[in-house]
């Protein structure tokens, strides 16, 4: 499992980068299996940490994605509408979900704590 040190992680498997980019962890994409559809939030939406903001659907199931922080959605990854499998192939790169202007982070873990929680 790849767990980059520079990111913070929610217990619900979202990662948050310093610039406000959000995605799901390598562990989460592996558990979900083949991602076939991603539903992303509207740009400009104000969200609270822990609120459902997106849905990632694999062949088998739909999984809610929760905001790792309170703030405003500033961008979404439009590439995912045509190639949702980017979430599988590059969960920390091309498979990012959205960016947000963070006003307050939720309850997040560092990479070491997240990795040991999911071993």
Partner 1 sequence: MVPFGGWDMPVQYAGVKAEHDAVRSRAGVFDVSHMGEFRVTGEGALAFLQSVTTNDVSKLRPGRAHYNWLPGVAGGLVDDIYVYMVREGEYLLVVNASNVAKDWAHLQAHAAGFDVQLSDESDRWSLLAVQGPLAENLLQPHVSVNLAEKKKNAFFPARLFGFDVMLARTGYTGEDGFEVFVDASEAETVWDKLLAIGITPAGLGARDTLRLEAGLPLYGHEFSDTIHPLSSSYTWVVKDKAHVGREHIDLAPPHRLIGLRLERVPVREGYPVKVGGQVVGHVTSGTSSPTLGHPIALALVDAAHAGADVFEVEVRGKDHSATRMELPFYKR
- Identify the helix (H) or strand (E) that includes residue 24: strand 21-24
| Whether the Cβ atoms of residue 116 and residue 50 lie closer than 8 Å to each other | no
- Considering only 11, 12, 39, 83, the residue that binds partner 1 (CB under 8 A) is 39
Q: Which two tokens stand for residue 11?
A: 């217990």
Name the DSSP class of 67.
-
Region 50-79 residues binding partner 1, contact defined as CB under 8 A: 55, 57-62
* Per CB under 8 A, 105 contacts partner 1: no
Region binding partner 1 by CB under 8 A among candidate stretches 8-16, 30-38, 40-48, 109-117: 30-38
Q: Identify the DSSP state of 78.
A: G
Interacting residues toward partner 1 by CB under 8 A: 33-34, 36-37, 39, 55, 57-62, 81
């Amino acid at each position: 499992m790849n767990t980059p040190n520079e990111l913070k992680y929610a217990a619900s498997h979202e990662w948050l980068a310093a610039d406000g980019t959000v995605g799901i962890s390598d562990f989460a994409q592996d558990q979900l299996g083949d991602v076939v559809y991603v539903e992303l939030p509207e740009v400009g939406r104000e969200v609270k940490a822990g609120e459902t903001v997106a849905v990632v659907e694999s062949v088998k199931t739909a999984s809610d994605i929760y905001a790792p922080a309170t703030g405003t959605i500033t961008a979404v990854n439009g590439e995912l509408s045509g190639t949702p499998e980017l979430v599988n192939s590059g969960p920390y790169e091309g498979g990012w979900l959205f960016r947000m202007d963070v006003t307050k982070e939720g309850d997040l873990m560092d990479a070491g704590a997240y990795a040991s929680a999911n071993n």
